[in-house]
Structures are given as structure tokens and as C-alpha cells.
């Protein structure tokens, strides 16, 4: 890796006062950004500059800053989580950009993810989908069976684990031309459908989660596959197929 | 906090820290600048409230450390150590959990409530890892 240097950049950022107001793209100039800094650190630097100028800082979501919480969103230069693959925005580094670049930063755009302020969107629709079925029933009477003592075929365990890697960031929805949440819901349904612990609620789970997904206003899947490419955790389209299979199975029961 | 209310503390440092934090608190409330408004989501306001909490927590830690004239666990009062530099407990006087009652902005007015610790199964003794 080459040594870090400082670059000067131009930013075009979506500013929106609140959910009901009309937003617009604003231009900012930010100098001396280290290529060793992360994208969010660059935004921190911008906000510090804005605060010093007595202007209002840009609101954006962030939490763990290590790619596991799913909080950071941002549509950067037309791509969810920016110009790199298999990462979240907090894992994006400024070395991906060049001196003099203009960077466009927008919030997730989807009917089901309304903007709260600037780059912050309300993703509680995902929470409600999870609450509709993203759980398993376990005996807690004192005779709880250790999960490790339940035999699971290695292939199933691997697939369930890969589905469980979903962090619920919403990049799939933001990327999809239909605003579909099927990669997310597919991953959540698959995670349980593949494991013996998920069998108890299997029928109700897929029906309830898909119903909630539709009620929230997410679109449908047309097998474009953009979500799979932009997913920071590489969730496979196979999960959508599995969800559809589970849904059909549950519907004819 | 790191220099005077760190793992090793003493009466002089803690007394100084309490005065310094009180000054910091005064400066904070006088000079704090909060961008944005209270009418919509304001992450800067959240940060300001967090800093205000940290200041109060810092005050409380220093106050409690000052009154606890013994060493125990992560609280090492430099005045209270044995010949080998190990923690010197005082279970006669400090076998309690301190709960401070808020009495307004002046930290010196806070009231200490003692929640006595009663051990039924274990014998109280000096502990070290040797």
C-alpha cells in the first residue's frame, strides 16, 4: 500500500431538514483529507469544518464503524456503500478517491425508508419484518437443549451461517430498481428454514414476514441481481429462491 | 480523569480533579455551542447531552473515590497500600456500596447513602494474586 497523502475533494451532499421538507444537493469543498482516513472520518472532518463555520453539520448514520452493525448507509457516487465491494461505508477508505474528485453522497432511496434528516433514513420497516417472524421458540423450562447437540448437516449449517451474515443494512433495497427487500427477507427466512430449530414456526414465519414486507411498501424481485452485487456480506440470490419455495410450501399447506 | 482519577488515585489528585471538573462544567454550560435546532433529529444535541453526562459521571467517580479511604479492586488509593504495594482494604469502615443522591448543581451537596454488604458464604480477607 502506498503511503498516505492528503487530497482535496468536492462533495455534493443531500441536505434535507426533516421528513416533510424538500431536500436538495449542496456543494462543499473539503481540503486536506488523508487518504488513510475512512469515508466516515472524512464526513466527521467535514462536520467539524461546518461546526467551526457555525453551520449545521450533516446528519448521517453510523455506529460500530467496523462493518458489523449495519447502521451506516449512504449512496456514494451512485452505489450503495460506495465504490468497492463486500464492504459497508465505514469500511470504505479515502484512498479509493483521487485529488480533485467530486463525490456524490445521497441517502438510501426507497418508499419504505423515508428520510428523517439529510442522509439518515428510517429503516424500522426492517425491524417490523424481523418481529413478524425472525425468531425461534426454545424450551427455557430448565431442559433447554444445547444447540450444539442437535445434528445439522454441514452443508446446511454453512448455508444458514452465510444467510445469517446479513446485517440488515438495507443496501439491497437501496440498490434494487424495484425497491425490493427480498434479499433481506430471503436471508432471514433461509437462516431458520435451513436449521432444525426453525422448523417449529417455519410455515407462519415465511407467511408473516412476506406479508409484513408487502405491507411496508417494498417492491418485488425481478431477478436483476444488483442486490447480490452490492450486498456488503455477499448474501446470495439463492436465498430469495429459497424464500419463494418456503412461501409456496406454506401457502398450499 | 486519566491523570487524577485513574487506576491509582490519591487525596491530593482527587481534590484537585473535583475542582477542575467543576470549572470544566461551568465553562461547558457557559460556552457550549449546539448547531441545529430542537425541532428535528439533531445528532449534535445528542453528543452535547452525552458530554454533559460524562462530566457528571466524572464528578461522581472522583467524589466517591475521595471518600473511599481504602484500596479495593480497580480503586487503588495510593495512600492505602501494604508494604508490598498491594491493595490495603478497610472492611471495617467501607464494606458498603455508595449511592449518591443528587442535590442540584453543586456537587459538594450530594448526599452519600450506604448500602451495606453482607457476606454469608465467604470470609472477608485481604486478596491478592500471589
Per CB-CB distance under 8 Å, the chain B contacts of A56 are 35-36, 44
B104–chain A Cβ distance below 8 A for any pair: no
A44–chain B Cβ distance below 8 A for any pair: no
Q: Which CATH number fits domain B2-88: 3.30.2420.10, 1.20.58.100, 1.10.10.10, 3.40.50.300?
A: 1.20.58.100
Reported as a single tens digit per residue, the pLDDT across A35-87 is 999 999 999 999 999 999 999 999 999 999 999 999 999 999 999 999 999 99
Res. A148 pLDDT band, cuts 50 70 90: confident
pLDDT above 90 covers a percentage of chain A that reads 93
DSSP SS3 for A8: strand
Nearest to A181, CA basis, from A124, A99, A141: A124
Reported as a single tens digit per residue, the pLDDT across B61-89 is 999 999 999 999 889 999 999 998 888 99
Residue A4's contacts (CB-CB under 8 Å, 6 or more residues apart) are A34, A35, A36, A95
A4–chain B Cβ distance below 8 A for any pair: no
CA distance B44 to B35: 7
Shortest distance between the Cα of A109 and any Cα of chain B, in A, equals: 19
CA distance A234 to A244: 19
Q: Do B33 and A54 touch (CB under 8 A)?
A: yes
Q: Tell me which residue in A57, A116, A120 faces B35 most closely, judged by beta carbons.
A: A57
Q: What single DSSP character describes residue A3?
A: P
**In 10 A of CB A178, how many CB atoms?**
16
Q: Nearest chain B residue to A21 by CA: give it.
A: B40
> What would the mean pLDDT of A93-101 be, rounded to a whole number?
97
Domains of chain A: 6-106 (3.10.20.30), 124-139+151-252 (1.10.1060.10)
> In this model, does residue B127 exceed pLDDT 80?
no
**In 10 A of CB B30, how many CB atoms?**
7
- Write down the pTM of the prediction: 0.85
Residue ranges covered by each domain of chain B:
2-88
Residues 30-89 of B with CB under 8 A from A: 33, 35-36, 39-44
CA distance A197 to A205: 13
> In this model, does residue A1 exceed pLDDT 70?
no
Contact predicate B43/A62, CB 8 Å? no
Specify the DSSP element, H or E, that contains A233: none
Contact predicate A40/A143, CB 8 Å? no
Amino acid at each position: 500500500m502506498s503511503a498516505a497523502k492528503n487530497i482535496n475533494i468536492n462533495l455534493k451532499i443531500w441536505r434535507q431538514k426533516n421528513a416533510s421538507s424538500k431536500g436538495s444537493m449542496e456543494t462543499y469543498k473539503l481540503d486536506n483529507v488523508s487518504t488513510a482516513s475512512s469515508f466516515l472520518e472524512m464526513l466527521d472532518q467535514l462536520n467539524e469544518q461546518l461546526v467551526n463555520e457555525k453551520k449545521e453539520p450533516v446528519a448521517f448514520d453510523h455506529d460500530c464503524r467496523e462493518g458489523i452493525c449495519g447502521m451506516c448507509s449512504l449512496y456514494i457516487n451512485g452505489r450503495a456503500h460506495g465504490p468497492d465491494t463486500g464492504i459497508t461505508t465505514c469500511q470504505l477508505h479515502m484512498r479509493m478517491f483521487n485529488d480533485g474528485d467530486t463525490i456524490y453522497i445521497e441517502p438510501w432511496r426507497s418508499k419504505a425508508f423515508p428520510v428523517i434528516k439529510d442522509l439518515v433514513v428510517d429503516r424500522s420497516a426492517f425491524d417490523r419484518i424481523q418481529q413478524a417472524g425472525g425468531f425461534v421458540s426454545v424450551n427455557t423450562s430448565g431442559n433447554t437443549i444445547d444447540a450444539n447437540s442437535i445434528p445439522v448437516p454441514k452443508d446446511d449449517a454453512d448455508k444458514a451461517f452465510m444467510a445469517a451474515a446479513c446485517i440488515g443494512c438495507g443496501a439491497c433495497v437501496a440498490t434494487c430498481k424495484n425497491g425490493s427487500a427480498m434479499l433481506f427477507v430471503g436471508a432471514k427466512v433461509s437462516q431458520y428454514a435451513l436449521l432444525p430449530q426453525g422448523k417449529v414456526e417455519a410455515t407462519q414465519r415465511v407467511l408473516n414476514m412476506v406479508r409484513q414486507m408487502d405491507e411496508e411498501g417494498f417492491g418485488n424481485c425481478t431477478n436483476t441481481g444488483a442486490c447480490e452485487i452490492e450486498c456488503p456480506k455477499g448474501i446470495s440470490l439463492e436465498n430469495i429462491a429459497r424464500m419463494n419455495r418456503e412461501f409456496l410450501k406454506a401457502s398450499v399447506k | 480523569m486519566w491523570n487524577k482519577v485513574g487506576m491509582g488515585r490519591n487525596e491530593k489528585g482527587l481534590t484537585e480533579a473535583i475542582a477542575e471538573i467543576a470549572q470544566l462544567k461551568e465553562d461547558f454550560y457557559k460556552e457550549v455551542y449546539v448547531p441545529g435546532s430542537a425541532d428535528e433529529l439533531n445528532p449534535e444535541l445528542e453528543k452535547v447531552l452525552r458530554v454533559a453526562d460524562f462530566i457528571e459521571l466524572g464528578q461522581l467517580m472522583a467524589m466517591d473515590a475521595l471518600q473511599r479511604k481504602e484500596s479495593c479492586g480497580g480503586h487503588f488509593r495510593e495512600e492505602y497500600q501494604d508494604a508490598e504495594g498491594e491493595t490495603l482494604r478497610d472492611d471495617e469502615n467501607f464494606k458498603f456500596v455508595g449511592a449518591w443522591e443528587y442535590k442540584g448543581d453543586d456537587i459538594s451537596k450530594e448526599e452519600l447513602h450506604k448500602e451495606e454488604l453482607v457476606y454469608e458464604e465467604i470470609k472477608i480477607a485481604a486478596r491478592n494474586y500471589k
